[in-house]
Each structure stands twice: as C-alpha cells, then as structure tokens.
Amino acid sequence: MKIKLSKVTDIPENNSIATIFSESSRFPFQLMPEELALWKRRPEKTNTLLIQRLPDFLFLVHPDMEKQENSILEACRKAGASWMEIIRKEKIEGTVVVGMTESAHTAAFLEGCLLAGYSFQKYKREKEDIYPSRIFIMDPGLSDETLMDLEIVTDAVFWARDMVNEPLSSLNATQFAEEISRIGEDSGFSVDIFHKQKIEALKMGGLLAVNLGSPDPPTFTVMEWNPVNSINQHPVILIGKGIVFDTGGLSLKPTLKSMDFMKSDMAGAAAAAAAIYAAAKAHLPVHLVGLVPATDNRPDGNALTPGDIITISDGTTVEVLNTDAEGRLILADALCYAKRFDPLLVIDMATLSGAVSIISGIHGIIALSNNPEYLKQLTDCGESVYERIIELPLWEEFATSLKSDIADFTNTGGRDGQTIIAAKFLEHFTGYPWIHLDIAGTAFIFEKDGYRSKGATGSSVRLLFNFLKKFK
C-alpha cells in the first residue's frame, strides 16, 4: 500500500499531529498547560515526546540544532520512523506533519516515516494494513518536487527490498530479469535481457562458470535511460552483482547466519535497477546504463570446482581457488561489457566480501575507486542521506596475492585484506573512471534499525538517486 503525501495550509480536523520545531518556533496550535509541563519534564536529551489527546495523538520532535546538519536530518528521519511505529501500534488513520524548522527537516521526517512503513507480507496468510493511505503536510517551504521525489525514492527502495526478500523459489535469474523489465515498462527505461545463448556468444566465462551448478540458466540484463535532455553524452553505468542465491558452490557456506540469508546476494543488482527506476520516474536528465549479470551459485555435479581455470570475456584467465568468491567472476564480465559504452563513470554495487562487516558493521558502505573526484561527490551525497561511505585504498601491494602460477590471476588471494583484494581483482577489468561499493554490511540486517527494516534494507538506492540528481 502506497502512502500519498498531500500539502495543506491548515491543520485538518480529526488528525493526529507530528510537529518538528526548534526553541524559537511557535506552535501552530495551543499546548495545554499539562502538555507543556510534560514537555518540560521529559528526560534529559530526549528530543521526542508522545502526548495522547483522546482520541488523537500529538508527537513533538525537537532536533538538537547544535549538531551538524547531516546529523539533524538523520535524527528527523529516525523520529519519522518512530512516528510510523506509533501510527501502526495505535492504528492511527489520519495524520498531519507540521514543519516548524527548515523544510529539509520536514522532508527527512517524512522520509523516515515512509521508509519505516515497509513490510514484506507476501507470504503471510494474515496481512496487516494499519498505516494511513495519506499523510497531510503543513510546511509552506516544502516543494511539490521534494514530495514527488520522496514518493519515487520510497517506491524504489521498497522494490529493491522486495526483490532481496524474495526467496530463490520465486526469484531465479530469469524471473529477476523479468521483474526488472516490468519496472522498465512502468518508468520508461529500456531493458534488453540476454539469455544463455547470447551470454555464450559473448564468451562471458565468469557468469557461465558460476552458473554451471545451477538447474536454471543465467541472464545478463542491460538497462538504459537516455532522456532527450541528457546532460552527459557518455553514460554513467550502474552494475549490480546478481547472485540470486549463493550456497558457496562446492566451497559450501555454513548454514547459520551465512547461507540462510544468501537470497540477499543480489542486493547490488536490485539497487542498480531500483536507482535507474527512480531516475527514470523522476525524469533526471542523466544518461544511464545498468548491467546485471545474474545466476545462483549451487553445488551440482557439473559445478565449478576449486582449481578450475576459467576465461573472462576479455581473455583474462582465472584460477578459481574458492567457488564462494563468485561475485567477482560475474562482475568481471559486466565490467568488461561496460567498455563498449565508453562510459563517463562506472559504479558497481555488490555484497562482495563478508570481511566488510568487520570494518563497518551495518553502518557504512565500503568504497574503493580510481577517481577521487567522483568518489568525493558520492561520499558527500552519502553523508546527506546517511548512507555513509568508508573509503579503502587500492594499494598495489594487495594485488600481489592474486598472482597464479598457472593462470593470469586467482580469484581469492590471501586471507587478510580480502575486501581490498576483491576490489583489486575487479580493478583489472576497468580502464575507466570507476567506483566499487561493497554493501555486504548494509544490504541485509537482522534487527530493525529505525527506518531500515529487518531483512532487506534497499542499501545504496537513496545514495545513488541523490548522487544522480546532483550529477554534473
């Protein structure tokens, strides 16, 4: 169920109210003496308070205006998520959000509220529907474009979450490609799906090798959004790792908190497609191409075997020492394919290395890049939407352990520094401005975190949309 945002000039009757205010703000309504007393007696450093006004509620939000703006925006998002929890718990049908500080704070509150409204209930017999179909907003400085962007981005994030939350039984590589085609038709970007015969003709040895153990064929999906008012002749390319399920192959993963949530191993592909979907819906004037190599990774009798040597589409040979380091193999083919577009910039998103979580936990995206200028722009965008980026170096020393005695490279290298080693492997197949985002820590979480739902989070969709909206 989508929530419609509607601007109003007066507070509608019979609605619960959430308001964001600062010390100097005047409330647009009269607080009763006992309500004012409750606010003054709130615990120290508590910036929100829920007051029951039978039959409605009043939710007061007072962000700490002494903090940096990015932190204020995030506090507003989390307050919005708390308000959605209250709406659900109390089954509030009518609500109005009143902004009394910067309009950006109101927008952030609404963003957190909308994102917290997500629930994956497709396979539940009894489905909940206890959030409002409409939220009224009273904030004269909030533009219609901002509200439209909030609805578009929320829709894109929800689609990405849905895709990641789907089990393999309902979303193999072909079905995933068809879902991408569906949102392409809905938003106006083109989709071309390569099936196994075309993939073989293109000699995509990485994708074909990982697919050897699967009963389902691979796909390679090419998306393009090229509006007539595009500001860039050469496209920005988004590549997403599309392993729809990862058992590890013959290098089998353990089950608990490893293989059991590996339906999330296509989160990078979901993010790439969702970002292009949002860009097309918002008619952003940026020429975009999306590439999604997709397959599952399973241990069949014909499966890729440790010690096998495969050939990537550019002729590079790889000694596969660990079949669970498969994401970089399918991304290598996609990175090679990107060269035919003469790209302005390529960004790949992947749940690539479990070692990422040791560095960033669930709180940050790891980035490695050969272009400091574009990475700085992306990092700044990450701060503003709170999908923060931690940069690691692409030092040449980390490529040393990728050397093979019998092929051009191995696919794993040493144990230490795996996040960087994986990126060094990918770097070999670039030759253009490139940013690698490892979202293994942020794409799928085991406990709800504010507006980030338990399970799939839609990591990097908001980051990419913000980046593309500001792209020059």
pLDDT tens by residue, 268-287? 999 999 999 999 999 999 99
Mean pLDDT of the chain: 94
Residue with tokens 């690539």: 352
Tokens of 139: 């904030």
Q: Residues 88, 203, 253, 448: which is the catalytic one?
A: 253
Assess whether 99 and 170 both reside in one domain.
no
Q: Give me the CATH number covering residue 163.
A: 3.40.630.10
3-state secondary structure (DSSP) of residue 381? helix
For 147, the enclosing helix (H) or strand (E) is helix 144-165
Looking at the DSSP bridge assignments, the partners of residue 367 are 391, 437
Assess whether 137 and 186 both reside in one domain.
no
CA distance 164 to 263: 6
Assess whether 125 and 265 both reside in one domain.
no
Assess whether 414 and 458 both reside in one domain.
yes
pLDDT at 1: 56
- pLDDT, one tens digit per residue, over 370-425 is 999 999 999 999 999 999 999 999 999 999 999 999 999 999 987 789 999 999 99
Assess whether 90 and 180 both reside in one domain.
no
CB-CB contact of 226 with 191 (8 Å): no
Assess whether 126 and 162 both reside in one domain.
no
Q: Give me the CATH number covering residue 12.
A: 3.40.220.10
**Full domain range(s) for residue 313:** 151-469
Assess whether 60 and 209 both reside in one domain.
no
CB-CB contact of 249 with 321 (8 Å): no
- pLDDT, one tens digit per residue, over 165-210 is 999 999 999 999 999 999 999 999 999 999 999 999 999 999 999 9
- pLDDT, one tens digit per residue, over 221-236 is 999 999 999 999 999 9
Q: Domain boundary residue among 113, 142, 171?
A: 142
What is the total count of domains within the chain? 2
Assess whether 184 and 123 both reside in one domain.
no
Assess whether 353 and 450 both reside in one domain.
yes
**Known catalytic membership, residue 41:** no
Across 269-302, b (16+ Cβ under 10 Å) vs e yields bbbbbbbbbbbbbbebebbbbbbbbbbbbbbeee
**pTM attached to this predicted model:** 0.96
Q: Residues 328, 424, 452, 462: which is the catalytic one?
A: 328
334-339 contacts, C-beta under 8 A, 24 or more apart? 334/220, 334/239, 334/291, 334/292, 334/293, 335/239, 335/426, 335/429, 335/430, 335/434, 336/312, 336/429, 337/202, 337/204, 337/220, 337/291, 337/313, 338/237, 338/239, 338/289, 338/291, 338/432, 339/431, 339/432
Q: Domain boundary residue among 117, 142, 167?
A: 142
**Known catalytic membership, residue 253:** yes
Looking at the DSSP bridge assignments, the partners of residue 52 are 57
C-alpha 446 chain-centroid distance: 16
Assess whether 222 and 266 both reside in one domain.
yes
Assess whether 384 and 353 both reside in one domain.
yes
- Report, as an integer, the average pLDDT of 235-264: 93
Q: Domain boundary residue among 95, 125, 142?
A: 142
List Cβ neighbours of 373 (8 Å cut-off, separation of 6 or more): none
Assess whether 159 and 132 both reside in one domain.
no
